[in-house]
């Protein structure tokens, strides 16, 4: 039995995936490697042109692949007469990089690369990753610097490979799991150092792709933090399946290996070596399976729904490796008569039917009982977001965003530590977690190629942490008191000098206060502060 359990844990999903890839799949339109979600310059450009109804995007799921981005840039190249002068310059700039996917050779105006090679069979690119950011405020200063390298390759018509290694150093621990910020999660080694390794191997064909990757991802339309999967956790290993067999339907499935950081005392043990006795701690395994179905009933309108399950104690469970299922129903039979796993449902609506206007709403349901829908004394556990973005109207190169997010008490939380909706203690959902709300307003300007100006106002509030307080889990009032509040105005200027090379200047006036200030906020931003930040980077 022990041997069978080990085989189940380590081999089953890999064998299933390998068999899938060996199927007779039609010829590929282009290999697939993913372009990181932190390249906001490129992602914002595509979003802007989707708002102008020049390309179609399903912005509920990110990151995009390089081949997908290249195809969208190619669509824009064929209708340049509809772009303004700044957009044309931006398009030419991005094509310096993504013509690698479009051109059969190297005969184009190419971006700077440390090394780039391409022939009829093999494509390979490698570049360094370098960056530094400095903050100074009324309460002190901090520095974050990083270095590494990233590479991608294509072989033949189907296979894609990519890797990115980034070593980081924080002078102060700015990315702890409890802090309510949108910084990427960090697994500190104890001295402010941490590393992030991403990469994967993918196989693609003309209506889909599959792969084994380790990367960040976000689900849910947003402009200031997704409330399905935020992408803030350290990257996780995952197998994925993506299908788009027709224009009006798209599907995404992911099975991921989360890090519980919950010690399993039955598997932990003592070791004896020349260095003495040492206790070897072993974590309980934690997994997640999730899918998202997107339908486009009319052009420019995307309706998405899906579900996920965080599970433990079963090994890699075959029922959750079936992509097209409702995981909660499988859970009810698998754990019949005992406590269930942790399941969720979500819905996302995105409309670009009005030119230059993107309207969207997302609903994340952590626990739902129909008997509690109209009972004010026993609320359900859900988070919802609604917002809109107006681009290039009435003024070109200017956009305006308005967004509101509300998360009910105990959303994203679970009473069983091994089933928490998190990895490495970082919440997978909205960065404010449960019992919170956020108002966000921004104005963005792009006066000329490469320059991005952003002004925003944020009011974020959080109520009592009922998960920490304990007691009855039903009937908890929303925001009965405000235990933490962030009232901030910020101005950001970002300039992309060459492809993937940025200069950044940011000023923030904030007032962060409340009884839970020490718990949720780094001391640099306590109280009324003015913070100036400068930075530069090459690569992601």
Per-residue b/e over 292-315, b at no fewer than 16 CB within 10 Å?
A: bebebeeebebbbebbbbbbbebb
Rounded-to-integer distance, Cα 325 and Cα 335, Å: 16
Whether residue 229 has pLDDT greater than 80: yes
* Mean pLDDT for the stretch of residues 335-350: 94
For domain 2-538, the CATH class is mainly beta
Do residues 460 and 432 make contact, with C-beta atoms less than 8 angstroms apart? yes
Whether residue 380 has pLDDT greater than 90: no
Rounded-to-integer distance, Cα 38 and Cα 218, Å: 11
pLDDT band at 7, cuts 50/70/90? very low
Beta strands in 26-76 (DSSP E): 61-62
pLDDT band at 29, cuts 50/70/90? low
Whether residue 370 has pLDDT greater than 70: no
Q: Output the furthest CA–CA distance in the chain (Å, rounded).
A: 73
Give residue 473's pLDDT. 78
Whether residue 424 has pLDDT greater than 60: yes
Do residues 294 and 302 make contact, with C-beta atoms less than 8 angstroms apart? yes
- Measuring CA to CA, which residue among 262, 261, 244 is closest to residue 253? 244
More confident of the two residues 374 and 410 = 410
More confident of the two residues 334 and 27 = 334
> Picking from 21-25, 194-198, 324-328, 489-493, which range would have the lowest pLDDT averaged per residue?
21-25
Look over the chain and give the mean of its residue pLDDT values, rounded to a whole number.
93
For tokens 């792709």, the residue is 209
Rounded-to-integer distance, Cα 439 and Cα 428, Å: 21
Give residue 372's pLDDT. 61
Q: Which two tokens stand for residue 82?
A: 């509809």
Whether residue 71 has pLDDT greater than 90: yes
Rounded-to-integer distance, Cα 411 and Cα 429, Å: 9
Indicate the domain borders of the chain. Answer: 2-538
Percentage of residues in the chain having pLDDT higher than 90 = 87
SS3 26: coil
Rounded-to-integer distance, Cα 96 and Cα 198, Å: 24
pLDDT band at 298, cuts 50/70/90? very high
Q: Which residues neighbour 299 within 8 Å (Cβ) at sequence distance 6 or greater? A: 56, 353
Whether residue 17 has pLDDT greater than 60: no
Whole-prediction pTM:
0.93
Give residue 367's pLDDT. 80
* DSSP 8-state secondary structure symbol assigned to residue 419: G
**Peptide bond just before 463 cis, omega within 30 deg:** no
Q: What sections of 207-359 are H helices per DSSP? A: 327-334
């Amino acid at each position: 039995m022990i041997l069978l359990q080990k085989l189940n844990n380590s081999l089953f999903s890999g064998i299933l995936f390998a068999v899938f890839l060996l199927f007779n799949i039609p010829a590929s339109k282009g290999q697939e490697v993913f372009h990181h979600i932190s390249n906001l310059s490129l992602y914002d450009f595509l979003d802007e042109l989707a708002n102008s109804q020049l390309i179609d995007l399903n912005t509920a799921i990110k990151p995009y692949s390089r081949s997908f981005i290249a195809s969208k840039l190619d669509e824009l190249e064929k209708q340049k007469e509809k772009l303004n002068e700044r957009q044309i310059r931006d398009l030419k700039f991005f094509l310096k990089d993504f013509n690698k996917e479009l051109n059969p050779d190297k005969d184009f105006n190419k971006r700077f690369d440390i090394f780039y090679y391409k022939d009829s069979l093999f494509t390979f690119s490698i570049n360094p990753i370098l960056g530094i950011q400095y903050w100074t405020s009324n309460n002190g200063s901090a520095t974050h610097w990083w270095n590494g390298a990233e590479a991608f390759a294509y072989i033949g018509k189907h296979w894609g490979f990519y890797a990115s290694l980034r070593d980081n150093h924080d002078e102060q621990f700015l990315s702890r799991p409890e802090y309510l910020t949108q910084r990427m999660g960090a697994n500190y080694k104890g001295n402010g150092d941490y590393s992030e390794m991403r990469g994967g191997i993918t196989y693609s064909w003309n209506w889909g792709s599959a792969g084994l990757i380790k990367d960040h991802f976000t689900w849910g339309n947003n402009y200031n933090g997704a409330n399905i999967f935020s992408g803030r956790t350290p990257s996780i290993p995952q197998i994925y399946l993506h299908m788009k067999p027709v224009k009006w339907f798209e599907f995404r499935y992911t099975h991921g290996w989360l890090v519980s950081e919950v010690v399993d005392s039955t598997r932990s043990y003592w070791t004896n070596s020349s260095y003495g006795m040492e206790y070897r701690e072993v974590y309980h395994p934690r997994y997640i399976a999730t899918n998202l179905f997107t339908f486009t009933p009319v052009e420019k309108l995307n309706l998405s729904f899906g579900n996920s399950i965080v599970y433990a104690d079963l090994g890699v469970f075959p029922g959750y490796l079936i992509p097209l299922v409702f995981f909660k129903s499988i859970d009810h039979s698998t754990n019949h008569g005992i406590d269930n796993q942790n399941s969720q449902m979500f819905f996302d609506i995105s409309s670009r039917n009005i030119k230059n206007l993107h309207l969207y709403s997302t609903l994340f349901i952590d626990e739902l009982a129909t008997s509690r829908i109209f009972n004010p004394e026993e609320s359900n556990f859900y988070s919802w977001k609604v917002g809109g973005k107006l681009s290039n109207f009435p003024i070109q190169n200017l956009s305006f965003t308005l967004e509101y997010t509300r998360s009910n008490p105990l959303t994203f939380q679970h009473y069983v530590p091994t089933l928490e909706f998190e990895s490495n203690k970082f919440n997978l959902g909205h960065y404010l977690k449960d019992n919170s709300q956020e108002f966000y307003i921004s104005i963005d300007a792009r006066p000329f190629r490469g320059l991005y100006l952003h002004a925003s106002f944020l009011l974020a509030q959080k109520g009592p942490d009922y998960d920490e307080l304990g007691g009855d889990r039903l009937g908890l009032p929303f925001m009965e008191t405000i235990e933490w509040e962030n009232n901030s105005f910020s101005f950001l200027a970002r300039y992309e000098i060459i492809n993937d090379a940025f200069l950044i200047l940011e000023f923030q006036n904030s007032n962060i206060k409340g009884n839970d200030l020490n718990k949720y906020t780094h001391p640099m931003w306590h109280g009324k502060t003015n913070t100036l930040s400068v930075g530069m980077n090459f690569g992601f």
